[in-house]
Structure 1
Amino acid sequence: MRLRRLLAGAAAGVAATAGANRLLRARVGDLDPALDGDQGTYHWRGFDIAYTEAGDPEHPDVVLLHGVNAAASSREFGEVFDALAEDYHVLAPDLPGFGRSDRPPVAYTSKLYEQFVADFVTDTAEDAVVVASSLTGSWAAMAADEADLSGLVLVCPTADTGQRRPVVRRLLRTPVVGSGLFNALTSRRGLEWFNDRDAFYRTENVPEGLVDYQYTTSHQPGARFAPASFAGSFLDPNVDLADTLAGVDAPVTLVWGREAKITPLSEGHDLADDADVRLVVLDDTSLLPHAEQPDSFLEAVRDELPALERH
């Protein structure tokens, strides 16, 4: 009798979770473009990849590649996109599995993103400067030769998010319990907690409307599949990032927030020394200096990379 009651309670809990998941999806609605500009679609290996394009096509190309987290999208570059587009031809995609790009329940891996970065930059830009943050920075570094880049600006890059956790990936991919856990992780309170603890140094510097966009993008159909692989560390490339950066045949600049916690500044100094590349440190900012201190970020980028000088 007791077992029967426990099973009945578990079934009721699963049903309630499934109902809550459906209600959340119905309430959120469609996702608008993250950035102002021309909206395009890049067809790649069965994915429809959404990207925003702005600026004069005759100007030097700059490709902006957002980092990876539970609510990632090209909205990450919302504070610098328009300013860059005044002088450059700027393209900003939503990575496969994120934003307005397709989010099928495939096995997302580092190899998939490594090839996507190389192909997107090669097919849509010429001699581009690529700006990439966190884990995406390692994929950009690996793509530098194939994509024939003219420069790299990597914001708090990393190639290591920890030991693989296959149980975490499997759990988050499950249809009911996984959806419920992911919805809890990407609640408004959860997103605000991540922004306050890790992404931004000061709460008042979180851009207006960012949390709303993060909430909407993380509650789209299929939103949990790519982050599940990230949470399980299946997106980490098998590469020594310092060696890779040292071999890039183009100017490389690392930009680090002095108060970064996930990838602390000490790692930035070590990486810059080992790879023999530039390191620019921005004060009063954490993991996303381009979002938290956009003016300082743009000034640092223009000063350090001649390819980004005004034309």
Structure 2
Amino acid sequence: MNKKLGTAIFLTGMTTLTIHIINRLQFSFSTVKNILSCPNNKYYEWRFGKIRYIKKGSGTPVLLLHDLTPGSSSYEFSLLIDSLAEKHEVYAIDFLGYGLSDKPNITYTNYLYVQSVIDFIKTIIGRKTSILATGDAAPVGIMACHNDGEVIDKVVLINPQSINKLNQIPNKQTKLLKFLIDTPILGTLLYNLQTTKESYKKIFLEEYFYEPFHIKDEVLLSYVESSHLPDYNAKFSFASFTGRYINANIIHALKEIDHSIYILYGDNKKDIQTIVDNYIYFNQSIEAFPIKDTKHLCHLEAPAKVMEQINILL
């Protein structure tokens, strides 16, 4: 009996060690390209950690808010920044828990990101600022307008998250999933399986891009790198995202704010027309414009088409 117990303990230990080594190797291999590094990197010392940002250009300020899906970062706007900087003072941030920003072991929420945006505008930009926000960052922009409208000018939403999905709150299943991902060894393995280059390629093919040949290796590797820097801490925002802690009901805010709000959407994104119609239903002043032959990341797939609309709106 003691021999069997000893063998079981030995095998469990070896399995745990093997998984740990695999995890460490994946984190190391995923960050060797250094794609997200930039000579213009700056850091805002916020109360929950350092927020990395890039500043470029001069003119009326525009703050770029990347999506909150796994692997997202300000790289998402890399093909827009130079064009925007011709007429605007452009700020592109990595949200806490993403990209090159700090990734503390906390529960990430919509309110956390809203506060970080408002504080960033007040402390770093110092002027009324327009916002360009993608996907799950769209409700961050909406709630920032509602909570402190004096610091926000215009709002442009790119393929905003469905209001119905935003209304989904954490339940027993999603709380358990967050708990599993947060665990040191097994959770890290589960996270790594979801953030491989092959996993990102699949989601780009199915949801993010309309034309498969537009998917470049560097784009995929930027997502892999973002989701593995600096180490396993990168999984904590993913755990909160999966657990639905980043969701927020924005209906009340949508009804009350009177800012100029525009929606740019990929005309081939699934269910996008219903999503856009729902936003307009709660705020009749919202104007929406399709980006032809694109899906979710239209600004990364067809930046010229998106810039054409942004130049008109801003």
- TM-score for the superposition, normalised by structure 1: 0.89
Distance in 2 (alpha carbons) for counterparts of 1:44 and 1:181: 30
Once the two structures are superposed, what CA deviation does each residue of 1:135-175 show, in whole Å capped at 9, x if it has no partner? 11111111115152110001121253545210111111111
Aligned positions of 1:64-103 closer than 5 A: 64-103=64-103
Distance in 2 (alpha carbons) for counterparts of 1:270 and 1:109: 23
In structure 1, the partner of 2:124 is: 124
The match for 2:234 among 205, 208, 223 is 223
Distance in 2 (alpha carbons) for counterparts of 1:110 and 1:252: 19
**In structure 1, what residue type is equivalent to 2:234?**
A
Distance in 2 (alpha carbons) for counterparts of 1:105 and 1:35: 23
CA contact (8 A) 1:35 1:74 kept: no
**In structure 2, what residue type is equivalent to 1:74?**
S
Shift of 1:287: 0.9
Once the two structures are superposed, what CA deviation does each residue of 1:53-95 show, in whole Å capped at 9, x if it has no partner? 1002xx1001000011110110011111111111111000100
**In structure 2, what residue type is equivalent to 1:13?**
T
The match for 1:181 among 180, 190, 198 is 190
Q: Percent identity?
A: 25
State yes or no: 1:139 paired with 2:147: no
In the alignment of these two chains, the number of paired residues is 300
Aligned positions of 1:1-311 closer than 5 A: 4=5, 9-29=11-31, 32=34, 34=36, 38-56=40-58, 59-125=59-125, 126-145=127-146, 146=148, 147-158=150-161, 159=163, 160-161=165-166, 162-164=168-170, 165-207=174-216, 209-220=218-229, 221=231, 222-240=233-251, 243-261=252-270, 264-276=272-284, 277-303=286-312, 305=313, 308=314
The range that moved more, 63-72 or 110-119, is: 110-119
CA contact (8 A) 2:63 2:131 kept: yes
Distance in 1 (alpha carbons) for counterparts of 2:240 and 2:180: 11
Shift of 1:124: 2.5
> Secondary structure, in 3 states, of the residue corresponding to 2:249?
coil
Distance in 1 (alpha carbons) for counterparts of 2:54 and 2:241: 24
Shift of 1:127: 1.8
CA contact (8 A) 1:37 1:52 kept: no
**In structure 1, what residue type is equivalent to 2:267?**
R
Distance in 1 (alpha carbons) for counterparts of 2:268 and 2:293: 7
Shift of 1:207: 4.4
Root-mean-square deviation (CA, aligned residues, Å) is 2.2
Q: Which one has the bigger helix percentage?
A: 2
Shift of 1:265: 2.3
CA contact (8 A) 1:118 1:140 kept: no
Distance in 1 (alpha carbons) for counterparts of 2:216 and 2:198: 16
> Secondary structure, in 3 states, of the residue corresponding to 1:209?
helix
CA contact (8 A) 2:175 2:243 kept: yes
CA contact (8 A) 1:269 1:279 kept: no
Shift of 1:247: 2.4
